[in-house]
Amino acid sequence: MKFISYYVTCDPIQKRRFNNVNKLISLLIPFLILLGASLKANDVKEISDSEDFDPGEMIMHHISDSHDWHFAHIGETHLTLPLPVILYSKDRGLEIFSSSKFHNDTFEYNGYKLDAHDHIHSIDESRSFYDLSITKNVASLLLSAVLLMITFVSIGNTYKKNKLKSPRGIQSFFEPIIMYVRDDIAKPSLGSKADFFLPYLLTIFFFIWFNNLLGLVPGGANVTGNIAITMTLAFITFLITNLYSNSYYWGHILNPPGIPFAVKILLVPVELMGIFTKPFSLMIRLFANITAGHIIILSLLALIFIFKSAFISIVSVPFAVFMNILELFVAILQAYVFTLLSAMYIGSAIEVHNHADHDFGH
Amino acid sequence: MFNSTFLVELGYAFLGAGIGAGIAVLGAGIGIGKIGGSAVESIARQPSESGKIQTAMIIASALIEGVALFAVVVCLLIAIKQ
């Protein structure tokens, strides 16, 4: 009551402020309820299935890749999307079937067996095959590719249609972000060549950001928390850095100027190692940050089942929701850090030095 | 299959992984704390340069974080080794 009376009597500026806060709260509450409910729904199964609840196994199941996309359990009902299994072997050629074929008592189908870690093995040990299946991560990648295409093709078309006009629709949300990547990430580290590398930087920025956010949706796949995917991203940066590198870059690595010979013996191997440790750290940073976020949220929810008490949820669910909100920030921060460091690594490889600088060192 | 000496040694491995992760986090905490402290101090001195200071701060803390994450991954590899 007091709140309402204050709302009625206060001056217009404060009124507007309250209005905004109310709007924000009314937007947030259904979102939070949905978030909490679906997160909990995700984990109900694990206690009903086995007497001993193993939090480690539950967490690994959630963060690892899988042959079917498991969204939630509502009571005894499974909300699972079986994904296609694609196998290639020399003797049998291409085999395509649904992963639901494995869902029988023995987990065997057509001479293949699905083990507890969701890996497919051949029952006949001497046979070898390639597993090219569309797994959960691949399906999520395809989904994010479609999302990125829809968003950015439409933005690109609007730019073509109304040149030099104010942005409209979804364009007005993304324009400041694109401008930020161009003016604050690409230009300071790449200088005049910023526009040439900008498509790559924008692509990795939005790819990582979209996939991080898709991973935070309850039931989503942990795509950027998969080391193979972060390795591929880091490898592309590694390729671009080294393919566009100039003689100054290699000169600084193989023969650092202005340094005594004795120090060079020590410094050159370190610099050579640096070529590989830079993309390696990009890979580990993204992987570890995203995976750690998922593990924290799942561990908080696992506390309820470890203590076998619903009262723990009073503490752990709000804290898990708080961590989830924090992860929304980490999602964009890690996309920013990856893009910024990629831009800096590329910038250091294409930079043209003035020889006069070398007398003073750097 | 598992004799008691093996289990004790496995326990030591877990202990080492835990202590290692703790020390790695300690170092990263000191490093990022110092960067954050100095960044706030410099922004207080030069509020107009806060954008540049923030970028430099994030780069430096990302590099420290990278090193700390190397250590944590090593600890994780010890912990999940069967």
In whole angstroms, give the CA distance from residue A346 to residue B31: 26
Contact B24, B72 (CB under 8 A): yes
Among A237, A284, A291, the strongest candidate for a mutation testing the B interface, having the largest count of B CBs within 10 A, is: A284
Contact A285 B58 (CB under 8 A): no
Spell out which chain B residues touch chain A, with contact meaning CB-CB distance below 8 angstroms: 51, 55, 58-59, 62-63, 65-67, 69-70, 72-73
Find the residue in A nearest to B71 (Cα): A284
pLDDT tier for residue B1 given thresholds of 50, 70 and 90: low
Contact A289 B73 (CB under 8 A): no
pTM exceeding 0.80: no
pLDDT of residue A321: 92
Dihedrals phi, psi of A88, to nearest 5 degrees = -125, 125
Among the partner residues B55, B59, B66, nearest to A285 by beta-carbon distance: B66
CA-CA distances (angstroms) from residue A152 to A157, A236, A284?
8, 21, 28
Tens of pLDDT, residue by residue, chain A (362 residues): 344 444 444 444 444 544 555 555 555 554 544 444 444 444 444 444 445 778 778 888 888 888 888 887 777 777 888 888 888 888 888 888 888 888 777 777 877 888 777 788 888 777 888 888 888 899 999 999 999 999 999 998 888 888 888 888 888 899 999 999 999 899 988 888 889 999 999 999 999 999 999 999 888 888 998 889 999 999 999 999 999 998 888 888 888 888 888 888 899 999 999 899 899 989 989 998 898 888 888 888 888 888 888 888 898 999 999 999 989 988 999 999 999 999 999 999 998 876 555 544 44
In chain B, which residues have their Cβ closer than 8 Å to the Cβ of A341? Answer: 59, 62
In whole angstroms, give the CA distance from residue B31 to residue A139: 39
Among A337, A338, A340, A342, the strongest candidate for a mutation testing the B interface, having the largest count of B CBs within 10 A, is: A337
Residue A183 DSSP class: I
In chain B, which residues have their Cβ closer than 8 Å to the Cβ of A184? Answer: 51, 55
What are the start-end ranges of the E strands in A37-164? 68-74, 77-82, 84-89, 93-98, 108-109, 112-114, 120-122, 130-131
**CB atoms < 10 A from the CB of A242, how many?**
15
In whole angstroms, give the CA distance from residue A189 to residue A206: 19
Find the residue in B nearest to A338 (Cα): B62
A177 touches B: beta carbon within 8 Å: no
A330 touches B: beta carbon within 8 Å: no
pLDDT of residue A22: 53
Task: Domain ranges for chain A, please list them.
Answer: 2-40+137-359, 84-133
Question: Which residue in A190, A214, A195 sits closest to A137, CA to CA?
Answer: A214
Contact A300, A55 (CB under 8 A): no
Find the residue in A nearest to B70 (Cα): A284
Contact A340 B59 (CB under 8 A): yes
In whole angstroms, give the CA distance from residue A341 to residue B27: 22
> Has the ipTM of the complex gone over 0.85?
no
Among the partner residues A184, A188, A337, nearest to B62 by beta-carbon distance: A337
